[in-house]
Amino acid sequence: MTPMESVSTARLCHADQSALLVVDIQNRLTAAMPAKVLARIQRNVETLLKAADLLQIPVIATEQYPKGLGSMEPSLVELLPKGARRYEKTTFSCAGAPDFVSDFELLKRKQIILTGMETHVCVLQTALDLMQLGATVFVVADAVCSRHRDNYEVAIQRMAAEGIIVSVTESILFEWLQDSKHESFKDIQARIR
């Protein structure tokens, strides 16, 4: 074992320990987002979904009160890997959705990678609840959003202060890969150029 291999990497994402969570990216919420912000979040969530599928990372998706806020964006539904778990909810935290916590525990993944809407409500509450339940939570700052920038910024600052790991899409991808010799490196690298 080299000295680098003996260093604890508990604060890095690992593909074999991660699950990707897509929170409430739904028609009526996306319609309320600034166009530039929406384009960024859709691009980054799509990239993460494709990488998760390639690396066999479990994916979970939620919809907040779909009767009122519409369904998950169709472009993202198409990218959900076979076997992705989907939950409808009325609670703001995903942890309150029926069977969500027990199903997450069955995955036996210690890390949850959070994306979605809105940063200061459902993403924030989910992050804090999952951390309280013992998960290492990574919020992907360029794959979450709120209608108003100040709400987004305060939520990111609050999560960081609470011990949530704040990251970005490219960092997550390269942490999942760990090495440029990984068999999926070229496929994933091509998606972020």
pLDDT at residue 8, rounded to an integer? 45
Task: Tell me the pLDDT of the chain (193 aa) as tens digits.
Answer: 444 443 445 689 999 999 999 999 999 999 999 999 999 999 999 999 999 999 999 999 999 999 999 999 999 999 999 999 999 999 999 999 999 999 999 999 999 999 999 999 999 999 999 999 999 999 999 999 999 999 999 999 999 999 999 999 999 999 999 988 888 778 888 877 6
pLDDT at residue 94, rounded to an integer? 98
Residue 146 burial by Cβ neighbours in a 10 Å radius (0-12, 13-18, 19+): buried
Looking at domain 22-191, does it have CATH number 3.40.50.850? yes
Question: What does pTM read for this prediction?
Answer: 0.93
CA separation for the pair 135, 147 (Å, rounded): 27
pLDDT at residue 10, rounded to an integer? 67
Domain extents for the chain? Answer: 22-191
pLDDT at residue 186, rounded to an integer? 80
pLDDT at residue 183, rounded to an integer? 82
Paired tokens of 118: 């809105």
pLDDT at residue 190, rounded to an integer? 80
pLDDT at residue 182, rounded to an integer? 81
Q: Which residues contact 141 (CB under 8 A, 6 or more apart)?
A: 156, 166, 167, 168
Paired tokens of 172: 């997550």
Of 178, 163, 172, 164, the closest CA to residue 143 belongs to 172
